[in-house]
A and B are shown apart, each in its own frame.
Chain A
Amino acid sequence: MNTREVIIDVENLVKKFGSFVANDHLTFQVYKGEIFGFLGANGAGKTTAIRILCGLSTPTAGKIWVAGFDAFHQTEQIKRNIGYMSQRFSLYDDLTVAENIAFYGGIYGMSRKEIKEKTEVLLNKLEFSSQKNKLISDLPLGWKQKLAFSVAIFHNPKIVFLDEPTGGVDPITRRSFWDLIYEAAENGITVFVTTHYMDEAEYCNRVSIMVDGKIAALDTPEGLKNAWNANNMDEVFLKITRKL
């Protein structure tokens, strides 16, 4: 964070669906290596924004640069430099752990040898080697999410986008999931995460709060708590949404 190198640069991002404005002139920057929290109630426009940044959706207007590429025209280059994990579970249920890893690794052009070596390392680290040949459908949800995250950063992307990654799991599993996120950030991967768990917001370096398609606040969790005179992020969030 010392370098303050900007990796996502968004200026006046607008996305309309017909007459409905999902994203209303969003402007923000994300720095290399930070954990950037993207908060907001359901329907505030978080998922729309994240889909644009990933090249899944074309913006209506604005200047958007992701990993140095233009989100209007260079979506395929963006895709080569990012990882993505969505709230809907994204590994193939009917493939085994190893097969899923090999498939995604292969798509990103990793060699067979590289995939094999990294798979060993990854599964050892997760203490998951014994489950290597199990079908994803047979795993508990917490494990599926850890794996999905590991697969999303398997090809060592510059940025990983996490859209509500911890939906539906218990706090302990969530805690161990966040350990993985910290580890990724330490390895220089920028983490862009949306959530509606306010305790998770505390784990982020910086947090932006979206209300009705606009960014209502953007600062470190400490800064936000001071500015709004609140004890925790929950209070911050309540005060901001009430004010508007």
Chain B
Amino acid sequence: MRMLLIILQKEFKQIFRNKVMLPIIFVMPIVQMTILVYAATMEIKNIDLLIVDQDLSATSRGISSHFQGSPFFNTEISQMSAKDAYGKLESDEADLILFIPANMEHDLYRNGNAVMQITANAINGMVAGIGTSIVSQTIMQYNRNLVLNYLKVPDTRGIQHQISTTYRYWYNPYLDSKSFMVPGILTILVTAIGLFLSGFNLVREKELGTIEQINVTPIKKYAFLAGKLIPFMVIALFDLTLGLLFGKLLFDVPIVGNILVMYTMAIAYLLVVLSLGLLLSTISSTQQQVLFTAFFFMIVFMLMSGLFTPTESMPNWAQDVNKINPIAHFMRAMRMILLKGSTMNDVLSEFFILMGTGIVLMSTAIWRYKKAS
């Protein structure tokens, strides 16, 4: 026990004396929370919409006016030629072009129907898809009102049957995507801190040669490894708290669930991350190797974890991989606890999976770490 205290004392001194550490511990949570959360928005707005109105009729102006002031679009109305308009698409000055041909209104009232074209720069398929569907829906809505005025009836029920839908968004009525990102980013933060710091620490002693000196002492393997884990557990939990605090202050993320449940999950998760870091450093001889291996695993597991896209929509093999993806389990639990108030009972399966993975990885790391060769 005294041995452990001596080792911990040494590790903490070294950590706080390391000039890189303090920025990592204090600045990283703040930077991640502000930049990442703000940047990671999927909201679609400010699409550059160019309306080429060659009809210049009451109807075409009516349609155009619906797009002005829309939160989704930066609208520009012009009478330029189709060729010039496509030039704008090519040079990225426009994302969407709504082309209203001459005689549109004339055709509509004479033939009962008229045609318009939307052309989208579809390199970003998501923006193109959503943008065009908003434009068509707006035009359909305008069309319906036009018919009502034309027929002088209060609604279209007599002409078409309708299902009305209403929406209720639980836990997040204003669809604020930030509150979903915060627990995700916190997970990444804790992972990066835990994995890289614990991974680097032991291998650095190898690189600098001090590990030899430790290995000839009668130090207990368990005490030494515990001394390498506990400091980073403390730092990671501290950063989790700091990050959460920032999330609360900056984005007012809901903290619906029990905070103790969150910390319990975090400790189980850190057991996994720190053991993985330790395991990596026992099988590596340079920090560079640790870095790449850790980086590789982190990128793969992070992308698959459902940080940006729902895991349910991934192919089956990816969902199978996610069963052993600790980031996915922890992120899911964090979101459930913080945003929906899930209880320990609700996240029990995640807890056991994390604990199990942690124990397996830890035992492997202890087994792999040998004082002699």
**B17 interface residue (CB < 8 Å to A):** yes
Map CB proximity to B onto A61-78 as digits: 1 under 8 Å, 0 otherwise.
000000000000001100
Please report the C-alpha to C-alpha distance between residue A140 and residue B340 in the assembled complex, in whole angstroms. Answer: 60
- Are the CB atoms of A92 and B210 closer together than 8 Å? yes
Chain A residues contacting B218 (CB-CB under 8 Å) are: 76, 79-80, 107-109
Chain A residues contacting B6 (CB-CB under 8 Å) are: 102-103, 106-107
Please report the C-alpha to C-alpha distance between residue A118 and residue B215 in the assembled complex, in whole angstroms. Answer: 23
Instruction: Identify which of residues 52-99 in chain A touch chain B, using a CB-to-CB cut-off of 8 Å.
Output: 54-58, 75-76, 79-80, 82-86, 88-95, 99
Partner of B372, one of A57, A83, A103, A107: A57
Chain B residues contacting A92 (CB-CB under 8 Å) are: 10, 14, 210
- Are the CB atoms of B373 and A90 closer together than 8 Å? no
Please report the C-alpha to C-alpha distance between residue A88 and residue B209 in the assembled complex, in whole angstroms. Answer: 6
**A104 interface residue (CB < 8 Å to B):** yes
**B219 interface residue (CB < 8 Å to A):** yes
- Are the CB atoms of B212 and A58 closer together than 8 Å? no
Instruction: Identify which of residues 90-147 in chain A touch chain B, using a CB-to-CB cut-off of 8 Å.
Output: 90-95, 99, 102-104, 106-109, 135
Chain A residues contacting B216 (CB-CB under 8 Å) are: 54-56, 79, 82-84, 161
Partner of B373, one of A57, A79, A103, A109: A57
**B152 interface residue (CB < 8 Å to A):** no
Please report the C-alpha to C-alpha distance between residue A80 and residue B6 in the assembled complex, in whole angstroms. Answer: 17
Contact residues on A (Cβ < 8 Å of other chain), bracket: 20 to 34
Please report the C-alpha to C-alpha distance between residue A121 and residue B130 in the assembled complex, in whole angstroms. Answer: 79
Please report the C-alpha to C-alpha distance between residue A85 and residue B373 in the assembled complex, in whole angstroms. Answer: 18
- Are the CB atoms of B208 and A93 closer together than 8 Å? yes
Chain B residues contacting A83 (CB-CB under 8 Å) are: 216
Map CB proximity to A onto B243-275 as digits: 1 under 8 Å, 0 otherwise.
000000000000000000000000000000000
- Are the CB atoms of B212 and A106 closer together than 8 Å? no
Partner of A56, one of B7, B14, B215: B215
- Are the CB atoms of A56 and B373 closer together than 8 Å? yes
Q: Which A-chain residue is minimally distant from B3 (CB atoms)?
A: A107
Chain B residues contacting A161 (CB-CB under 8 Å) are: 216
**B368 interface residue (CB < 8 Å to A):** no
- CB of A163 to closest CB in B, whole Å: 9
- CB of A109 to closest CB in B, whole Å: 8
Please report the C-alpha to C-alpha distance between residue A155 and residue B371 in the assembled complex, in whole angstroms. Answer: 20
Chain B residues contacting A94 (CB-CB under 8 Å) are: 13-14, 17-18
**Dominant SS among interface residues on chain B:** helix
Chain A residues contacting B371 (CB-CB under 8 Å) are: 55-56, 75
Q: Which B-chain residue is minimally distant from A75 (CB atoms)?
A: B372
Chain A residues contacting B17 (CB-CB under 8 Å) are: 94-95, 135
- Are the CB atoms of A88 and B13 closer together than 8 Å? no
Please report the C-alpha to C-alpha distance between residue A80 and residue B216 in the assembled complex, in whole angstroms. Answer: 8
Contact flag A56-B209 (CB < 8 Å), given A95-B10, A99-B10 = no
Map CB proximity to A onto B190-221 as digits: 1 under 8 Å, 0 otherwise.
00000000000000000011101111111100
- Are the CB atoms of A88 and B372 closer together than 8 Å? no
- CB of A233 to closest CB in B, whole Å: 28
**B157 interface residue (CB < 8 Å to A):** no
Contact flag A107-B373 (CB < 8 Å), given A56-B212, A94-B18 = no
Please report the C-alpha to C-alpha distance between residue A102 and residue B5 in the assembled complex, in whole angstroms. Answer: 12
- CB of B44 to closest CB in A, whole Å: 50
Map CB proximity to A onto B1-38 as digits: 1 under 8 Å, 0 otherwise.
01100110110011001100000000000000000000
Chain B residues contacting A55 (CB-CB under 8 Å) are: 216, 371-372
- Are the CB atoms of B217 and A108 closer together than 8 Å? yes
- CB of B32 to closest CB in A, whole Å: 27
Instruction: Identify which of residues 359-373 in chain B touch chain A, using a CB-to-CB cut-off of 8 Å.
Output: 371-373
- CB of A195 to closest CB in B, whole Å: 18
- Are the CB atoms of A107 and B219 closer together than 8 Å? yes
Contact flag A103-B10 (CB < 8 Å), given A56-B372, A76-B218, A108-B217 = yes
- CB of B65 to closest CB in A, whole Å: 68
Contact flag A58-B372 (CB < 8 Å), given A94-B14, A107-B6 = yes
Chain A residues contacting B217 (CB-CB under 8 Å) are: 79, 104, 107-108
Q: Which A-chain residue is minimally distant from B17 (CB atoms)?
A: A94
Instruction: Identify which of residues 118-168 in chain B touch chain A, using a CB-to-CB cut-off of 8 Å.
Output: none
Q: Which B-chain residue is minimally distant from A111 (CB atoms)?
A: B2
Chain B residues contacting A51 (CB-CB under 8 Å) are: 373
- Are the CB atoms of B10 and A90 closer together than 8 Å? no
Chain B residues contacting A80 (CB-CB under 8 Å) are: 218
Map CB proximity to A onto B165-189 as digits: 1 under 8 Å, 0 otherwise.
0000000000000000000000000
- CB of A95 to closest CB in B, whole Å: 6
A binding-site residues for B, Cβ under 8 Å: 51, 54-58, 75-76, 79-80, 82-86, 88-95, 99, 102-104, 106-109, 135, 161
* Top 6 A-B pairs, shortest CB-CB distance: A88-B209, A106-B6, A90-B213, A84-B216, A80-B218, A79-B218
Can you list 7 A-B pairs with a CB-CB distance of less than 8 A?
A57-B373, A79-B218, A84-B216, A95-B13, A95-B17, A106-B3, A107-B7
B binding-site residues for A, Cβ under 8 Å: 2-3, 6-7, 9-10, 13-14, 17-18, 208-210, 212-219, 371-373
Having A58-B373, A95-B10, A135-B17, one finds 8 other A-B pairs with CB under 8 Å, namely: A79-B216, A83-B216, A89-B209, A90-B209, A94-B14, A99-B10, A107-B3, A107-B7
